[in-house]
Amino acid sequence: MFVVQKKKPIIEGLERFRQQQNISFHVPGHKHGELSHLPQAFKDVMRYDVTELSGLDDLHYPEEMIGEAENLLAKTYGAMKSFFLVGGSTVGNLAMIYATCQAGDTIIVQRNAHKSIFHAIELVGAKPIFVTPQWDERTLTATYVTYRDLKEAVESYSKAKAVVLTYPTYYGMTSSDIHQQIAYCHEKGIPVLVDEAHGAHFQACTLFQPSALSFGADIVVQSAHKTLPAMTMASFMHVNSQLIDADRIHYYLRMLQSSSPSYLLLASLDDARHYVQTYMESDGAYIIEKKNQWVEALRTIGSLEVIEVDDPLKLLLRVKGYSGFQLQQVLEAQHVYGELADTNQVLLMLPLLKQGHTYPFAEIRIRIKEAITILVDTAKTASNVAPRTAYQFAPITEPMYTFNEIASLNKEWLPYMRTIGRIAASMIIPYPPGIPLLVPGEKITVAKLSQLEELLAVGATFQGHHRLTEKMIQVIK
C-alpha cells in the first residue's frame, strides 16, 4: 500500500519521456518550447507540454499512466470511478447534468449554485425548480437548503430527474442536513449531484469537514486547483452511484472536454491527488494550529473583525462601517490579495500546509494592520454597506419560463427600478462568487432589486447580459 501511495504515474511518465530527448514532428507547435519567446521559466515548463504520443496515454480513453492515476484518485476519495478534468469544475457540472437530464426534464437546484449549473440547465433544456438557501447572520451569506425545504420540493416535483446541491458554499459553510437529504432523495430514486468545488481538501484528514462522497452523493465535482496544489482549471470528478452509469458521464466528458487536453494540467492533478493521499492527521493539526495562532494575532488589530467558518481554510475579514470592496482595495495596495470581496467583507483562502511548510503569516498580519490603518484614517465610511439582515425569498420557486422558451420571446430594456414584477430575460451575476442574482424566467422582486442596487452602490463587478452602467436590465416584453 505504501508503494502505491508514493506513485505519481503521469508525472513519472512525462519525466521518462522528457529524458529521452525526443525530436518533435508533432503538435504543439512550440516544439518543447524551442520556438517560444516566453521567459525561460515558461519555456522550461513547455518541455512537458506534449500530446497523446506512444506511452503517454489518452485522457479520453485512458489505459496506461492516466488510467492508473485516475484509479488511484478513485481509491483516494473512495469513489467507484473518478475522472481528471481539464476544463475546471465547470465541465464536470455540465457533464453531470447532461448525464441525468434531457430537454423538458425537471431538476431541483439549490438557488445559490454556481453559474455553470445554470448554464448546464440552459444547454440541456431542463426545467429548474429552485430551493432557497438559509441566510446566516454570522457570516452574512446564503448557506445551504434545509432538509424540510428540500423534502417539500421533492414531494411537489416527484418526477425530478436530479437534485443539485452546493457543498460547501464559496464562503466555506457546510450543511448538517446533507446526509439526511441524500438518503431521502435516494428513497425516491433521485440522484444527488454535488458541486463540491471548494471541498477537494475535505478528504485529506478527519479534522476537516467530511466530503459529500462520504454521505452517499452520486456525483461530486471538485476544483482541485482551489485548495489543493493543482494548476488553474484542474479538477476532479467522482461517481459513486447505483443510479447513474459512470460510462454515461465519460461519454459526455469526451464531448465537452478538449480533444487536446493539457498534460501540464494532468500532471498537476496527479500531484494534487498524491498530496491528498499522503496528507496526515498531523498535517491537518499543523495547519489548524497555525491558523488559530494567526486568527488570535489578527484579532488584536483594532477595528478588524475576524469571522471563522466551517472550512478551516476560509476566513472572513470585516471593518465595521466600510464595505468589503473598500477593505479589498487597501489590502491589495499592501500586496495582500484575498479570494473575493462582497458588500460586507473580504474572503481569504488559507494554504493547505503540511508539517514543515512555512507561510509568512506574521508579515501578512503587519500588512493587514497597515491596510486597516490606512482605511480608517483616509477612507470615508460606506453609507451603502448592505444591511446585515437576510433578504426574504420564497423557499421554493419555479421560473415562469424555461430558458428555451425565453429564447423565442420578445424582450426589452428597462431601468431596473421599473422592473418590479416583471420577468427577467437575462442573467445578472455578481462575480465573484459567480452566483446569479437574477436568472432568466424568474420574477423580479423588490428584494432582488434592493440587493442589486446595494451591490452597484459599493462597486461590485457583474457578469451576464446587462447594461448596468445605464441602470438598465433586460426583461420579457
What are the pLDDT digits (tens) for 189-233? 999 999 999 999 999 999 999 999 999 999 999 999 999 999 999
Contact 359, 290 (CB under 8 A): yes
For 31: left if phi > 0, alpha if psi spans -120 to 50, otherwise beta; the answer is left
Please provide residue 139's backbone torsions phi and psi, each rounded to the nearest 5 degrees: -90, -10
What pLDDT, on the 0 to 100 scale, is given for residue 386?
Answer: 52
* C-alpha cell of residue 165: 446541491
What pLDDT, on the 0 to 100 scale, is given for residue 317?
Answer: 98
What pLDDT, on the 0 to 100 scale, is given for residue 103?
Answer: 96
Q: Is 408 helix (H, G, I), strand (E, B) or coil?
A: coil
Contact 202, 172 (CB under 8 A): no
What pLDDT, on the 0 to 100 scale, is given for residue 391?
Answer: 54
What pLDDT, on the 0 to 100 scale, is given for residue 197?
Answer: 98
Per CATH, the architecture of 9-278 is what? Answer: 3-Layer(aba) Sandwich (3.40)
Please write the tens of the pLDDT for every residue from 229-255.
999 999 999 999 999 999 999 999 999
Report the distance separating Cα 325 and Cα 65, nearest Å. Answer: 45
Geometric angle at alpha carbon 418, from 414 and 419, rounded to 5°: 75
Domain residue spans of the chain: 9-278, 281-378, 399-476
Report the distance separating Cα 131 and Cα 146, nearest Å. Answer: 9
Contact 318, 341 (CB under 8 A): no
What pLDDT, on the 0 to 100 scale, is given for residue 389?
Answer: 45
In terms of C-beta density within 10 A (0-12 exposed, 13-18 middle, 19 or more buried), how is residue 196 classed?
buried
The reply to whether omega before 28 is within 30° of 0 (cis) is yes
Please write the tens of the pLDDT for every residue from 135-160.
999 999 999 999 999 999 999 999 99
Between residues 179 and 392, the one the model is more confident about: 179
In terms of C-beta density within 10 A (0-12 exposed, 13-18 middle, 19 or more buried), how is residue 85 classed?
buried
Comparing C-alpha atoms, which of 83, 88, 380 is closest to residue 238?
A: 83
Q: How confident is residue 461, by pLDDT bands cut at 50, 70 and 90?
A: confident
Q: Is 340 helix (H, G, I), strand (E, B) or coil?
A: strand
What pLDDT, on the 0 to 100 scale, is given for residue 393?
Answer: 74
Please write the tens of the pLDDT for every residue from 413-458.
999 999 999 999 998 988 878 788 898 999 999 988 988 988 888 7
Average pLDDT score over residue span 170-190: 97
Report the distance separating Cα 202 and Cα 113, nearest Å. Answer: 19
Per CATH, the architecture of 281-378 is what? Answer: Alpha-Beta Complex (3.90)
Between residues 394 and 282, the one the model is more confident about: 282
What pLDDT, on the 0 to 100 scale, is given for residue 5?
Answer: 64
Contact 229, 201 (CB under 8 A): no
Q: Which residue has the cell 419555479?
A: 398
Q: Which of 84-93, 174-183, 331-340, 449-458 has the lowest mean pLDDT?
A: 449-458
The partner residues of 340 in beta bridges, in order of sequence, read 347
Q: What percent of the chain has pLDDT over 70?
A: 97
What pLDDT, on the 0 to 100 scale, is given for residue 134?
Answer: 92
What pLDDT, on the 0 to 100 scale, is given for residue 2?
Answer: 39
Rg (CA), the chain: 23
Q: How far is CA 223 from each of CA 15, 59, 169, 243, 379, rounded to the nearest angstrom?
A: 25, 18, 13, 24, 36
* C-alpha cell of residue 33: 518550447
Does the pLDDT of residue 114 top 90, yes or no? yes
Pairing of strands 162-166, 192-195: parallel
Please write the tens of the pLDDT for every residue from 332-391.
999 999 999 999 999 999 999 999 999 999 999 999 999 999 999 998 887 545 544 445
What pLDDT, on the 0 to 100 scale, is given for residue 58?
Answer: 97
Contact 152, 184 (CB under 8 A): no
The fold of 399-476 is Ornithine Decarboxylase; Chain A, domain 4 (3.90.100)
What pLDDT, on the 0 to 100 scale, is given for residue 383?
Answer: 55
DSSP structure string for 414-463: EEGGG-TT-BB-S-EEETTTT--SB-TTPBP-HHHHHHHHHHHHTT--EE
Contact 9, 68 (CB under 8 A): yes
Report the distance separating Cα 137 and Cα 416, nearest Å. Answer: 28
